[in-house]
Amino acid sequence: MNKPLARTRIQRKNIALISEAALNIFSAQGFRGATVDQIAREASLSKPNLLYYFPSKEAIHTHLLSTLMDTWLDPLRELQATGDPLDEILTYVRRKLEMSRDHPRESRLFANEIVQGAPHILGLLGTDLKTLVDEKAAIIAGWMAEGRLAPADPHHLIFSIWSLTQHYADFDVQVRAVLGPDRPDPFPQAEAYLTTLFTRMLSVAPQGPA
Amino acid sequence: MNKPLARTRIQRKNIALISEAALNIFSAQGFRGATVDQIAREASLSKPNLLYYFPSKEAIHTHLLSTLMDTWLDPLRELQATGDPLDEILTYVRRKLEMSRDHPRESRLFANEIVQGAPHILGLLGTDLKTLVDEKAAIIAGWMAEGRLAPADPHHLIFSIWSLTQHYADFDVQVRAVLGPDRPDPFPQAEAYLTTLFTRMLSVAPQGPA
DNA sequence: ATTCCTTTTGACCTTTTGGTCAAAGCCACG
DNA sequence: CGTGGCTTTGACCAAAAGGTCAAAAGGAAT
C-alpha cells in the first residue's frame, strides 16, 4: 500500500522512471548487488528524491516483482482447453520465447530472485503460481487422457517449457559466447529447435497423424 | 596463482574449510550478496584469518569458480563418439541431473554468475567452454548425418540439456513450491520425464526402430 | 499574486563492509 | 627447550551504502 495509485502526473512519470531504472539495475546486479545510488543515477533523480517515491530499496524491488509477476504469467493463462492441444502448447512455447527475447530483464529479475531462494515472493509461488499451474496441468492431463497428446507428466512439461525458454534470456551471455560472436541472434534457431522438440515430444502419431 | 599448492596440512584444511563455507554463502546469496564476515563465520574462522588465506573476497570467488568449472564440465567430456548415440545423450542427461541433485550449490553458483553477465568468467565461456561444446556438437552432428539420431541443432540440443537439468537445482524452490509440500523429491519424476523427452526427440524411428 | 501542497535537494547520520596491521600465540625442528 | 616461521586475532580504518531531515523550489487553483 505504498503508492498504489499515482495521483499526479509527476508521480506517474517518476514512478515509471524509477521502475525502469530499477529493472535495469536489479536485473543486472541482483537485489543486494544493486545500490540505491545506482538506481537514482539511472533514473536521473537524486537519491532523496527517489526515496520520496518509494520508502526503501526493498519497496522498489517488491513493487517491481509484484507488478511483473502478472505479465509474466499471462502466456500461461492464455492456454485454453478449447484449442488444439499441440497448437496451444506450441503457442505457449513461442510466447514464452518471445518474452525471453523482448523482456530479458524481467526474466533475469525473476531468475535472480528464485535462484537465491525467492526470499521476497516465496508466498506467491506456493499459492497463486501453484494454483495457476495446477489448473493448466489439469487441462494438459485431460488432453493426454483423451489421447490427443502423447503422455507425459504435465507439471514437468510446464517446467521444461519454462526452463528452455527462459534459458535464452537468463543465460544469454553463455549462449552467445558458446555460439560465437558471429551469430548475433540465437532466437530464430531456438524457436525452430523448441518447436521440433515439443512436437516430437507430444505428437500422438509422431510421423504425422492419420 | 594465489595459493596454488597448499604446503602445510593446516593450509590444506583451512582452504578446504573456506571453500566449503564460501560455496554455501556465494551460492545462496550471490557474489555481492555474500559478505566476508558471513563466510568467515560459516568457516568458524576469524575474518583476518580468512583473509590470510585468500587476499580478497573476489579471490575466494574466483578460486571457487575455476575449481568447479572443471568438475562441472566432466559429464560433457565423457560424451564419446564411439558409444551408442542415444545412450550417450541419455547418459549425459542423467549425469547432469545427478549433478543438479547432488551439487545444487555449485549449480547455483554458476547460475548466479551467468545471470549477472558472467563478469568473472566471461573469458572462459568463449574459449574453453566454446571449444568443448563445439567438439561435442560435432560428434552429435556426425551421428545425425549418419542417420543414427533424428536431426536437430546440436548446440541447441546441448543448451536444452543444460537448461532442463540445471533448472531442478537453480529453480528448486519454485519446483517444490509448485509441486506442493507433499512431494519432497522431484528428481525421480524429472529423470523419467527427461528420458522420455530426449528419447522422443532423438529417436530416428520414433515408435521403436526396426 | 498568494497560498498551500507537492517535489527536490544538500548535508548529514549510522551501519555495514572489505580490508589492514601489529602483536600475540602456536608449532615443528634442531 | 629455544628459536624461527607459520597462524591467529583484536583493534582499527576508509569507503560504501541505506536512509533521514529541514529547508528550498515548483506548481496550480483561487
Fold agreement between B8-55 and B62-202: no
Q: Do B201 and A206 make contact, defined as CB atoms within 8 angstroms? A: no
What distance in Å separates the CA atoms of residue B66 and residue A179, rounded to the nearest whole number? Answer: 21
Give residue A61's pLDDT. Answer: 98
% of chain A surpassing 70 pLDDT: 95
Burial class (CB in 10 A: 0-12, 13-18, 19+), B1: exposed
pLDDT digits (tens, 9 = 90+) for B130-153: 999 999 999 999 999 999 999 999
Domain boundaries, chain B: 8-55, 62-202
Of the candidates B32, B130, B201, the beta carbon closest to that of A201 is on B201
One-letter amino acid of B97: L
Closest-approach nucleotide to residue A44, Cα vs C1': C8
Q: Do A118 and B192 make contact, defined as CB atoms within 8 angstroms? A: no
pLDDT-based confidence at A4, cuts 50/70/90? very low
How is residue A208 written as a grid cell?
Answer: 504425422
Question: Domain B8-55 is of which CATH architecture?
Answer: Orthogonal Bundle (1.10)
Find and give the residue nearest to C27, measured CA to C1'. Answer: B10
Give residue A3's pLDDT. Answer: 38
For residue A202, the distance in angstroms to the closest alpha carbon of chain B comes to: 9
Q: Do A189 and B31 make contact, defined as CB atoms within 8 angstroms? A: no
Tell me the helices (H) and strands (E) count for chain A, helix number first: 11, 0
Quickly tell me which residue has 549449480 as its cell: B107
Higher pLDDT, B8 or B113: B113
Closest-approach nucleotide to residue B7, Cα vs C1': D6
How is residue A62 written as a grid cell?
Answer: 517488491
Q: What H or E segment, with its residue span, contains residue A36?
A: helix A36-42
List of residues 6+ apart from A13 with CB closer than 8 A: none
Residue B119 CA to chain centroid, in angstroms? 17
- Average pLDDT value for residue range A25-34: 96
How is residue B138 written as a grid cell?
Answer: 560435432
Would the pTM count as exceeding 0.90?
yes
Q: What is the DSSP string of A173-206?
A: HHHHHHH-TT----HHHHHHHHHHHHHHHH-SST
pLDDT at residue A209 tops 70? no
pLDDT digits (tens, 9 = 90+) for A162-202: 999 999 999 999 999 999 998 889 999 999 999 999 999 99
Angle ∠(A16,A21,A23) on CA atoms, nearest 5: 95
User: In the structure, how far is the CA atom of residue B4 from the C1' atom of nucleotide D3, in angstroms?
Assistant: 29
Q: Report CA torsion sign: A108, A114, A119, A124.
A: positive
Closest-CA residue of chain A to B191: A156
Give residue B2's pLDDT. Answer: 33
pLDDT at residue B208 tops 50? no
% of chain B surpassing 70 pLDDT: 95
For residue A167, the distance in angstroms to the closest alpha carbon of chain B comes to: 6
Q: Report CA torsion sign: A18, A19, A24, A27.
A: positive
Interface test with A, best of B72, B125, B174 (most A CBs within 10 A): B174
pLDDT-based confidence at A210, cuts 50/70/90? very low
- Average pLDDT value for residue range A111-121: 95
3 state SS of A7: coil
Q: Which bases of chain C are contacted by protein, using any atom under 7 A from a CB?
A: 6-11, 16-22
Task: Tell me if A76 sits within 8 A of A134, measured CB to CB.
Answer: no
Of the candidates B133, B160, B193, the beta carbon closest to that of A153 is on B193
pLDDT digits (tens, 9 = 90+) for A77-106: 999 999 999 999 999 999 999 999 999 999
pLDDT at residue B113 tops 60? yes
pLDDT at residue A1 tops 90? no
Closest-approach nucleotide to residue A7, Cα vs C1': C6
pLDDT at residue B87 tops 90? yes
* Mean per-residue pLDDT over chain A, rounded: 93
pLDDT at residue A129 tops 90? yes
Quick check: A31 contacting B, CB < 8 Å?
yes
How is residue A65 written as a grid cell?
Answer: 516483482
Pick from B2, B195, B64, B97: which is nearest to A152 by CA? B195
% of chain A surpassing 90 pLDDT: 90
pLDDT at residue B5 tops 70? no
Class of the CATH domain delimited by B62-202: mainly alpha
For residue B55, the distance in angstroms to the closest alpha carbon of chain A comes to: 21
pLDDT digits (tens, 9 = 90+) for B38-71: 999 999 999 999 999 999 999 999 999 999 999 9
Task: Tell me if A129 sits within 8 A of B177, measured CB to CB.
Answer: yes
Pick from B131, B18, B104, B174: which is nearest to A113 by CA? B174
What does each C-alpha distance from B172 to B71, B167, B181 come to in angstroms? Answer: 21, 7, 12
Task: Tell me if B32 sits within 8 A of A32, measured CB to CB.
Answer: yes
Tell whether ipTM is more than 0.95. no
pLDDT at residue B209 tops 70? no
Q: Which bases of chain D are contacted by protein, using any atom under 7 A from a CB?
A: 6-11, 16-22
**Helical H runs in B4-84?**
9-33, 36-42, 47-53, 57-77
* Mean per-residue pLDDT over chain B, rounded: 93
For residue B163, the distance in angstroms to the closest alpha carbon of chain A comes to: 6
